[in-house]
Amino acid sequence: MPALATTNFNIILSVLGGWVSLFGLVSYLCKESFYLSEALISLLAGVALSPHAANFIRPLDYALGSEENLNAITLAFSRLVLGVQLVLAGVQLPSRYLQKQWKPLALLVGPIMAAMWVATSLLVWALVPGLSLLHALAIGSCVTPTDPVLSAVIVKGKFADHNVPKVLQKIITAESGANDGLGYPFLFFALYLIKYVGDGGVAEAGGARVAMGLWFGETWGYTILLSVAYGAVVGWLAKELLHWAEERKFVDRESFLVFAISLALFIVGTCGMIGSDDVLACFVAGNVFTWDDWFRLETLDDSLQPTIDMLLNVSIFMWYGAVCPWELFHANDVVPLGRLCALGVLVLLFRRLPWVFAVHRFIPQIEDARQAVFVGFFGPVGVSAIFYLYVTLEFLHTLDVDGEPRADVKALPEAVLVVVWFIAICSIVVHGLSIPLGKLGFYLPRTLSRGVMSSSSEGPDAAAPFALGSRVTSFAIRRRSGGDAGNEPNAGPPPPPGGRSVFRIGGSIIPKRQEGPGGGVLDRREELDTSKDTSTEAVGAGQGTPAQGTVPYVGRTVRFPDEPPVAAGQAAGGRGSPEQ
């Protein structure tokens, strides 16, 4: 007799597929109308389905009950998402972007990133009791890089198209890609000192000289420089091979589109085997791969890459919602919840914003102080922080003595776990809600004040201004006759027939005007009004008014409140005539 096979594999596929399908049904509404990021929504879904709630996603069971296995899974998943994201980020940049814009990029990933590291570390040192400065430097380095996954909220989509200049989008994308891989020097500067210097003289033999030798040799030489060279070589070879195959018609369209994704997988795997910086190598390879802009322009209108990107984003943040140690935020031996909340707020305010604002005049892409505040605030902490968190835990595990943590770093794993996870969650929530709350705070007072002014100046019988959602700005023009309007100074053009207000949507006046059959200007109202005289003689003369005896505005689907009702007989032949 058939029985339910509630295996982990079946459950996780059902949950993931069901959530992606349900989210897809309202994805445009959430992202383009409410400006909610898919990261925040997926994180909340992961919490709801985690062992803390519905218990549909059980990460510890998938890791065979081992915390070490669970940490390894989370680290590998984060590496995969970062690798794909950074190759796509490099591909999206214009030709030779790193070469052309190396000065502002060097400023962002050099002095500004160093200031972010120091500021965050000092805040952690001040607010976490009993933590040494060296340990605080290790924790601060994990949350220093800006996250390319969460940065996509302000560089992609309708909000970015209408509010963020293209040059600013590109520099944010380039910075978030480059500084992710450059987090290794900051992290291992602290980790090597912890290993060879330690606290209270308890450390491995060698001292600071050995620590700095490893930092320059292993971190900068092997990890950073080798990854840059490897990414550049692999990206250039991939570009040349794809050119050669495409010219000879050897590659089909599907394989052509997926080439960047497969390149990311190859680099993540090979760099992982040699122990280099796969994150930085992926970004460099993506930029070199489209050095001549050929691949970027060829795939500009295709949606495969954004689709893969969306699937990975939804999956990783659902996983983060399920594996996040929520219980440790209020029950840990390191930092009280009150200090943890204060730390989250202060890090989001002082980690990045003051330093970007201080040097924004030296970055040509940031034109004024308002853009500097915007770029400084939107430096989210997300996947890259979790990636460096588990790299840190993996390194600290190598310091164990006879299977037990070394005395001076005994409390550090729990401290880095609690602090980094909490700051990442704060950033996902705050940066995920900043745009919709900012939009609401911008439009709501103006809408309320406009309504109060309208009702007080025109009386209770006045028609309310027409609006379509939060993206519509209406300009209320008082009803007055054409003669009165023309006599007033600076009155502007007379109002349209009937004294109705003019409304602006997306920078254009509605109704739009089009060329008529005779070369004259044909109004949209005339185009839709089937009872109007649209003969060549009438329109060709440039007449934009209805013929005598016709009813204006017949055939529109929207009727303004101050229009007289149109009789059914008058509206015959019109499309979508108003109701009486």
Model confidence pLDDT, tens digit, residues 284-310: 999 999 999 999 999 888 888 889 989
Q: Residue 144 — φ and ψ, nearest 5°? A: -70, -45
Task: Give the integer Cα–Cα distance in Å for 386 and 383.
Answer: 5
Mean pLDDT of 237-266: 94
Q: Which amino acid is at 140?
A: G
Q: Which amino acid is at 11?
A: I
Tokens of 117: 């590291």
Instruction: Fill in the DSSP letter of residue 470.
Output: G
Q: In this structure, how many other beta carbons lie within 10 angstroms of the beta carbon of residue 115?
A: 18
Q: Residue 189 — φ and ψ, nearest 5°? A: -60, -45
Place of tokens 């933590």: 131
Task: Give the integer Cα–Cα distance in Å for 523 and 541.
Answer: 13
Q: What is the pTM of this model?
A: 0.77
Tell me the C-alpha to C-alpha distance, in Å, between residue 98 and each of 103, 122, 229, 493, 578. 9, 32, 14, 49, 57
pLDDT for 445: 62
Query: Which of 472, 424, 446, 474 shows the shortest CA–CA distance to 150?
Result: 424
Q: Does residue 143 or residue 494 have the better pLDDT?
A: 143
Task: Give the integer Cα–Cα distance in Å for 76 and 78.
Answer: 5
Distance of CA 299 to the CA centre of its chain: 21
pLDDT tens digit sequence for 504-557: 444 433 344 444 444 444 444 343 344 344 443 443 444 444 444 444 444 444
End-to-end CA separation in angstroms for the chain: 64
Tokens of 234: 């692999």
Q: Residue 472 — φ and ψ, nearest 5°? A: -110, 130
Place of tokens 């993931």: 16
Q: What percent of the chain has pLDDT over 90?
A: 54
* Beta-ladder partners of 509: 504
Helix (H) or strand (E) holding 342: helix 337-350
Least confident range of 147-156, 224-233, 454-463: 454-463
Instruction: Fill in the DSSP letter of residue 219.
Output: I
Q: Which amino acid is at 439?
A: K
Instruction: Report whether 470 contacts 443 (CB < 8 A).
Output: yes
What is the SS3 assignment for 157? Answer: helix
* Beta-ladder partners of 514: 522
Which band of pLDDT confidence, cut at 50, 70 and 90, is reported for residue 489? very low
Which band of pLDDT confidence, cut at 50, 70 and 90, is reported for residue 481? very low
Q: Does residue 123 or residue 477 have the better pLDDT?
A: 123
Q: Residue 502 — φ and ψ, nearest 5°? A: -100, 135
The shares of helix, strand and coil residues in the chain, as percent rounded to the nearest 5, are 65, 5, 35
CA triple 115-342-116, angle to 5 deg: 10
The alpha carbon dihedral of 174, 180, 184, 185 has a sign of: positive
Domains of the chain: 8-208+302-445 (1.20.1530)
Tokens of 26: 């309202």
pLDDT tens digit sequence for 410-426: 999 999 999 999 999 99
Q: Which amino acid is at 208?
A: A
